[in-house]
Amino acid sequence: MARALFIIDVQNDFTEGGALGVDGGAAVASAITEHVREHPDDYDVVIASRDWHDPDNDNGGHFALEGEPDFVVTWPQHCMAGTDGAEYHPSIDTGLIDIHVRKGQGVPAYSIFEGTTDDGRGIVTALDELGVTDVDVVGIATDYCVRASALDALAAGRRVRVLSDLVAGVAPESSEAALREVAAAGATVEPASP
C-alpha cells in the first residue's frame, strides 16, 4: 500500500497574472510546497501535472483562435509548451516532485490521467508499478483539472482524498459543485492535516 500526492497544474498561466489565472493560485502554490515539506513521510511519490499545449495550433479546438472563448469548451491560449506560462509557479519546489506529467499536447486534456510521464508512461502504469492505492489531490483548478483528476483516480480504483484547503478554482459555485461531485463519487474531501 502506497500513497501518492497529485499536484495538478500549478502553473504560471493558472495563477494570478497568468492567461487563465485563478484567485488564490499563488497562495495554493506556496501552501502545497509547505505541506509536502511538513509531511515528508506521508507520500511515497509526488506526481505533478502540467498543461503543455502546442503553440502553433488550436489543440483540438481547446484554444479559441477565432472569436471569443466560451470558457467551457474553448479557452484563450495558455500553457503553451516552452513558454513561461507553462512552467510551474515559482513557489512550487520542483525538487519535491518525483514524476512530472505533461498533458494536452495537441488535444484538450483536463485529467492527469490524460497525460504521460517524462519517460512516456501513462499514470495508471506508473501508479501500478509503485503499488499506489491511495491518492491525495491538490492544485488548480478545483472545478476543472482537479475535479477530472480526482474522478479518474477513483475510476482507476484508487482511494482518493481532495485536500480542500490546497486547491483553487475558477469560480466559487462551480468549485463547490466539483467538490460535492467528487465526494458523491467516493472521494474524501477534507482540509490537509495540520
Cα-based distances in Å from 87 to 3, 19, 61: 25, 13, 22
CA nearest neighbour of 113 among 124, 105, 121, 104: 124
Handedness of CA 107, 112, 116, 122 (dihedral sign): negative
Active site residues: 9, 103, 145
At a CB cut-off of 8 Å and minimum separation 6, what does 122 contact? 113, 116
Q: Are 191 and 163 in contact (CB under 8 A)?
A: yes
- Three-class HEC string of 116-150: EECCCCCHHHHHHHHCEEEEEEEEECHHHHHHHHH
